[in-house]
């Protein structure tokens, strides 16, 4: 009977030892810090990960409660969590624990209440927070680089726009300078330089692609008399007005220039002798039909022009020939009474 009783006790003890060993094995197998708390938050069981996290040996933890290892500012949240667990709800939230060395460790808390005990697992968030902070730092750096890039792009675009604007200004100035170099200061029509260059081009083109080409040389009759009688300012106004009347008499494709002094020229592109004479007559009539201030004092009673016409031909086959022939025709018009056309 005694032997049987001892055997029964031994069996119960062995079963209890196996249960304790199993519990210990289960606690050790849990990969996160794991705690079992009593109703007052006292430490009942702690796995090795939990002891490593807090840094306390088991005997010290048994003399403490959970509130001893959390910062004061987290008390309210911990109390709320334990109350929620008592009501049968699982909790999950972030808090901090204080290690034996005083380090504040950010953790994520998972908890549930079963059979008059709180089962709580903590997840160490230090590495995760470091990763998050590193991510935020890199995100901030990346955002700053994007901002700097965008700022640089905007500044670069401003510089490009300014550069483009300056190029346009330079191009406009260049075009204006070119225009001025080819423009007569007083009348605003082409000057002698442009006349020579353009006539040279047209003569060369006519040689390659034979088309009619004519030239008008136009001179204001008795202009010196008008200038001496009315003054240079009045004379300048007459030069401007007659340059306009000549332009009205020619076609849009023709080129009118001030040849020098009171003499003008007109390059008539694709115009033979007959067409050139028709245009010359229109120019002469435009001037003759216009009244100018005090022109009645002129020897022929009003301002007129004489016109010499020359047309490119086999006998007039160079720029020099064309100008000379138009000049000779103009001379004949002057000799034969002015206000007329010769050619």
Q: Is residue 9 part of a domain?
A: no
Spell 214-252 as b/e; 16+ CB within 10 A means b: bbbbbbbbbbeebbeebeeeebeebbebbbebbbebbee
Residues 6+ apart with CB under 8 A from 331: 308
> Per-residue pLDDT tens for 246-283?
999 999 999 999 999 999 999 999 999 999 999 999 99
Give me the phi and psi of 140, to 5 degrees please.
-65, -45
Q: Same domain for 333 and 201?
A: yes
Q: At 154, which helix (H) or strand (E)?
A: helix 126-181
What is the structure's pLDDT at 27? 58
Q: Same domain for 61 and 135?
A: no
Q: Same domain for 75 and 86?
A: yes
CATH code (residue 112): 3.30.450.20
Q: Same domain for 213 and 280?
A: yes
Q: Same domain for 255 and 199?
A: yes
Domain closes at, from 97, 124, 151: 124
Task: Please report, to the nearest 10 degrees, the dihedral formed by the alpha carbons of residues 321, 326, 329, 334 taken in order.
Answer: -140
Q: Same domain for 52 and 85?
A: yes
Q: At 232, which helix (H) or strand (E)?
A: helix 232-249
Q: Same domain for 43 and 157?
A: no
Q: Is residue 186 part of a domain?
A: no
Q: Same domain for 206 and 324?
A: yes
CATH code (residue 243): 3.30.70.270
Above 70 in pLDDT, residue 106? Answer: yes
Q: Is residue 8 part of a domain?
A: no
Q: Same domain for 134 and 118?
A: no
Q: Is residue 18 part of a domain?
A: no
> Per-residue pLDDT tens for 190-216?
999 999 999 999 999 888 888 899 999
| Angle CA 156–162–163, to nearest 5 | 85
- Rounded Cα distance between 61 and 51, Å, is 9
Average pLDDT along the chain = 88
Q: Is residue 16 part of a domain?
A: no
What is the structure's pLDDT at 19? 47
Q: Is residue 23 part of a domain?
A: no
Please state which of the ranges 9-23, 64-78, 140-154 shows the lowest mean pLDDT: 9-23
Q: Is residue 285 part of a domain?
A: yes
How far separated are the first and last CA of the chain, in Å rounded?
A: 163
Q: Same domain for 115 and 156?
A: no
- Rounded Cα distance between 315 and 322, Å, is 10
Q: Given 59, 136, 197, 262, which residue is catalytic? A: 262
How much is the average pLDDT of 82-86? 93
Q: Which domain holds residue 314?
A: 192-342
Q: Is residue 67 part of a domain?
A: yes
Q: Same domain for 204 and 336?
A: yes
Domains contained in the chain, number = 3
> Per-residue pLDDT tens for 125-159?
998 888 888 888 888 888 888 888 888 888 888 88
Domain closes at, from 137, 154, 181: 181
- Per the document, the length of the chain is 343
Domain closes at, from 82, 97, 124: 124
Asked about 262 being catalytic, the answer comes back as: yes
Q: Same domain for 205 and 240?
A: yes
- Considering the chain, what percentage of its residues have pLDDT values greater than 90? 59
């Amino acid at each position: 009977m005694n032997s049987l009783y001892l055997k029964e006790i031994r069996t119960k003890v062995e079963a209890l030892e196996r249960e304790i060993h199993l519990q210990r094995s289960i606690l050790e197998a849990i990969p996160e810090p794991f705690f079992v708390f009593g109703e007052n938050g006292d430490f009942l069981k702690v796995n090795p990960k939990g002891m490593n996290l807090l840094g306390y040996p088991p005997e010290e933890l048994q003399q403490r409660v959970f509130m001893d290892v959390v910062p004061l500012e987290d008390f309210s949240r911990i109390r709320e969590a334990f109350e929620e667990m008592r009501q049968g709800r699982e909790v999950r939230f972030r808090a901090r624990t204080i290690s034996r060395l005083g380090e504040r460790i950010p953790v994520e808390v998972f908890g549930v209440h079963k059979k008059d005990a709180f089962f709580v697992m903590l997840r160490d968030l230090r590495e995760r927070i470091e990763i998050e902070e590193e991510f935020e730092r890199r995100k901030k750096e990346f955002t700053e680089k994007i901002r700097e890039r965008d700022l640089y792009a905007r500044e670069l675009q401003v510089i490009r726009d300014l550069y483009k604007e300056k190029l346009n200004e330079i191009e406009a100035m260049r075009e204006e300078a070119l225009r001025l170099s080819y423009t007569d200061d007083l009348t605003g029509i082409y000057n002698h330089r442009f006349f020579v260059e353009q006539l040279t081009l047209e003569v060369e083109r006519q040689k390659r692609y034979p088309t009619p080409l004519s030239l008008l040389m136009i001179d204001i009759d008795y202009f010196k008399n008008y200038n001496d009688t009315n003054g240079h300012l009045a004379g300048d106004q007459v030069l401007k007005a007659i340059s306009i009347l000549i332009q009205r008499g020619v076609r849009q494709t023709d080129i009118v220039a001030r040849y020098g002094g009171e003499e003008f020229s007109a390059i008539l592109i694709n115009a033979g002798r007959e067409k050139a004479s028709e245009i010359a007559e229109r120019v002469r009539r435009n001037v003759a039909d216009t009244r100018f201030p005090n022109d009645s004092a002129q020897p022929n009673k009003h301002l007129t022009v004489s016109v010499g016409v020359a047309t490119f031909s086999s006998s007039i086959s160079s720029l020099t020939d064309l100008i000379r022939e138009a000049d000779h025709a103009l001379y004949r018009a002057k000799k034969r009474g002015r206000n007329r056309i010769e050619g």
